[in-house]
Amino acid sequence: MSSQNGFYRFTGTDDYIVSPSLVDAVNCAIALERPLLIKGEPGTGKTLLAENVASALGMPMESWHIKSTSKASEGLYVYDTVQRLNDARFGDGDVSDIRRYIHYGPLGRSFSAEERTVLLIDEIDKADLEFPNDLLLELDQMRFTVMETGDEVAARERPVVIITSNNERELPDAFLRRCVFHFIEFPERELMQKIVAVHHDNLDSKLLDQVLIKFYWLREQNDLRKKPSTSELIDWISALLKSGISQDQLESHIPFMSALLKNEQDSEALSRYDDRGGELPTQWSDLGPRYNQ
């Protein structure tokens, strides 16, 4: 973390490698105090970004994992009516104090926090269509009123809001307009090597080359329905290392395919390729020019 000109600057962390464009987007969102909307293929580290921004900037983090049943108001606070009703019925506790039954949600907690926090709203697209619109005002002003008590909760320090989306549905324009947007591209060869090094250092460079060649080749196969992503690559390398496989063994076939392909049809498609006597690439030059710059 570094703080210059009065605002925070994020530069990535030792365990999390970021592309320059993502660094710019994160810093822009921090400086403008706007929510940062992150999209990208599953497995490209969208959720991890928030954790790493928090740890790099030394801020506590609140996360809100959205489900299809999530409602915007739940993020602010929940008024536990059923508990109160129950207490009134059976005479437990002080029913007249409504505040006892108001529980802040992640948004409420991060607004009321003493210091600046990182707030992660994960997979916002899973919720109902209207969900993002319901949050517009709160995210803009970073304040809300608890209706039942009339208490106002206002953020002393505007939290750094990071929102992720898997593109399951379109987000409303009004919401998008308020966000800084970044799309995480799939990492290219050089960046990928750095990312792998973070998780598996001391990996033999020739072995790594073989691994990445096979991996990118697999991603180029158009008949795959779900292309393997970074997190699958990391798992796959773990499996390879544990089994102590050598670089030569990797040249002619792809072991532990199930770590990379999670879909039956995809595994079948690839085994058909094997049956046809298809050859696997062994050098970068066997792949397209994208990998040989």
Residues that bind other proteins (CB under 8 A): 5, 7, 20-21, 24-25, 27-29, 31-32, 34, 37, 39, 81-82, 85-86, 88-89, 167-170, 173, 176-183, 185, 225, 288-290, 293
Task: Provide the minimum distance between the beta carbon of 103 and other proteins in the complex, in angstroms, as a whole number.
Answer: 16
Beta carbon nearer to other proteins, 18 or 237: 18
Task: Provide the minimum distance between the beta carbon of 176 and other proteins in the complex, in angstroms, as a whole number.
Answer: 4
CA–CA distance, 117 with 161 (Å, rounded to integer): 8
The pair phi, psi for residue 287, each rounded to 5°, is -90, 175
**Are 27 and 205 spatial neighbours (Cβ–Cβ below 8 Å)?**
no
Cβ neighbours of residue 112 under 8 Å, at least 6 residues apart? 104, 153, 155
Beta carbon nearer to other proteins, 170 or 248: 170
CA angle, residues 217, 220, 223, in degrees to nearest 5: 120
Task: Provide the minimum distance between the beta carbon of 91 and other proteins in the complex, in angstroms, as a whole number.
Answer: 11
CA–CA distance, 70 with 72 (Å, rounded to integer): 7
Beta carbon nearer to other proteins, 174 or 246: 174
Torsion of CA 234, 240, 243, 244, to 10 degrees: -120
Q: What are the tokens at 226?
A: 């779900």
Beta carbon nearer to other proteins, 253 or 290: 290
DSSP assignment letter at 13: B
Task: Provide the minimum distance between the beta carbon of 230 and other proteins in the complex, in angstroms, as a whole number.
Answer: 17
Between the two ends of the chain, the Cα-to-Cα distance in Å is 32
Phi-psi region of 49 (alpha: psi -120 to 50; beta: other; left: phi over 0): alpha
The pair phi, psi for residue 88, each rounded to 5°, is -65, -40
Task: Provide the minimum distance between the beta carbon of 108 and other proteins in the complex, in angstroms, as a whole number.
Answer: 20
Task: Provide the minimum distance between the beta carbon of 159 and other proteins in the complex, in angstroms, as a whole number.
Answer: 18
CA–CA distance, 240 with 261 (Å, rounded to integer): 15
Q: What are the tokens at 175?
A: 């919401």
Beta carbon nearer to other proteins, 152 or 279: 279
Task: Provide the minimum distance between the beta carbon of 182 and other proteins in the complex, in angstroms, as a whole number.
Answer: 6
Task: Provide the minimum distance between the beta carbon of 209 and other proteins in the complex, in angstroms, as a whole number.
Answer: 19
Q: What residues are paired with 228 via a beta bridge?
A: none
Beta carbon nearer to other proteins, 33 or 251: 33
Beta carbon nearer to other proteins, 60 or 172: 172
Beta carbon nearer to other proteins, 81 or 243: 81
Q: What are the tokens at 189?
A: 């060869």
